[in-house]
Amino acid sequence: MAKKVAVLMGGCSVEREVSLTSGAACAAALRDAGYAVICIDVSRDVRRLIDALTPLPDVVFNALHGRDGEDGKIQGLLDLLGVPYTHSGVLASAIAMNKQVAKTLFGARGIPCPEGRIMALERIGSESGFEPPYVMKPNDEGSSVGVHIVRPGDNRILPEEWRFGDSALVERYIPGRELTVVVIGDRAIGVTELRPNTGFYDYNAKYTDGQTLHLCPAPVPDRIAEQAMEYALTAHCALGCRGVSRADFRYDDTQGEPGQLYMLEVNTQPGMTPLSLVPEQAAQAGIPFGELVSWMVENAACDA
């Protein structure tokens, strides 16, 4: 009998549309691989979700992104139900989603991160402690949601569309290049450089076709590529991640090669859309998409 897999997708975060695309791609690949798949569009109605998961599937494929799906909440519910699920558990998910706490952990493992602090919105600018340019972002969102670069001469510190509470994480701006590393299980599989057309790898650049050039493998010195993969695997293990994660870096080579790497964050629920970096790096490493999602299902676990 085919193994029954429930794909959780959608959700209520600002990354809902990306999650729906990720979930649909994963569900199609799993069906092609011979699994019995049901798709569940998750809302905040817990009873409705439990009913949709009854009788319990053999495995839950968690294709949710952002708050509630990536921060340990849905993982806690699945642990209580005792059903194995893909990706990381409660603690790893919660720590990784809190950027400032995660950076403290990374620093303790010798991974350089940009200096930063959480500040009340009214203090940003006058008391930030950083000369422009500097970066402000939500402390607990993913996919570059809400990231804003404050540049010299800006009259408006806070963007009009800010809707992420009354505080923000303020960090020193790191010039240079955008790199990312995918970890699958116990190994980092490659380094990609991302060159957005706009000069800033924001949400639109990530999920709009043609907006960003992906260079895989990244054209960086071998020592830097090896260091990026080492840092990504160290962070994955330090957080206690399971399955697949993706680490994002800035690489400051503005003073010449070799430059300095800085880890920005680890994504415990990276995108699985046709434009996403995990499937792309996996393909470069010789792992087809269907094989990747099947491996994730077969290595699912829970903390119950």
Q: Which of 15, 79, 141, 202 is catalytic?
A: 15
Residue 2 has what DSSP assignment?
P
Q: Which of 267, 276, 280, 294 is catalytic?
A: 267
- Which of 35, 246, 262, 280 is labelled catalytic? 246
Task: Verify whether residue 161 is a known catalytic residue.
Answer: no
Interatomic CA distance for residues 70 and 33, integer angstroms: 26
**Which one is catalytic: 85, 134, 207, 262?**
207
Among 70, 178, 193, 248, which one carries the catalytic annotation? Answer: 248
- Is residue 131 annotated as a catalytic residue, yes or no? no
What is the phi-psi region of residue 68: left when phi exceeds 0, alpha when psi lies from -120 to 50, beta otherwise?
Answer: left
- Dig out the tokens for 133 from the structure: 């340019």
Active-site residue identified among 79, 178, 265, 280:
265
Concerning whether 98 is annotated as a catalytic residue, the answer is: no
Residue 268, SS3 per DSSP: coil
What does each C-alpha distance from 59 to 87, 161, 231, 268, 294 come to in angstroms?
12, 38, 30, 18, 11
Give yes or no: 246 in active site: yes
Structure tokens of 245?
Answer: 């994660």
Selecting among 23, 72, 146, 271, the annotated active-site residue is 271
Is 15 one of the annotated active-site residues of the chain?
yes
- Residue pair 40/9 in contact (Cβ under 8 Å)? The answer is yes
Separation between Cα atoms, residue 206 and residue 199, nearest integer Å: 12
* Active-site residue, selected from the candidate residues 143, 144, 276, 294: 143
Active site residues: 15, 143, 207, 246, 248, 265, 267, 271
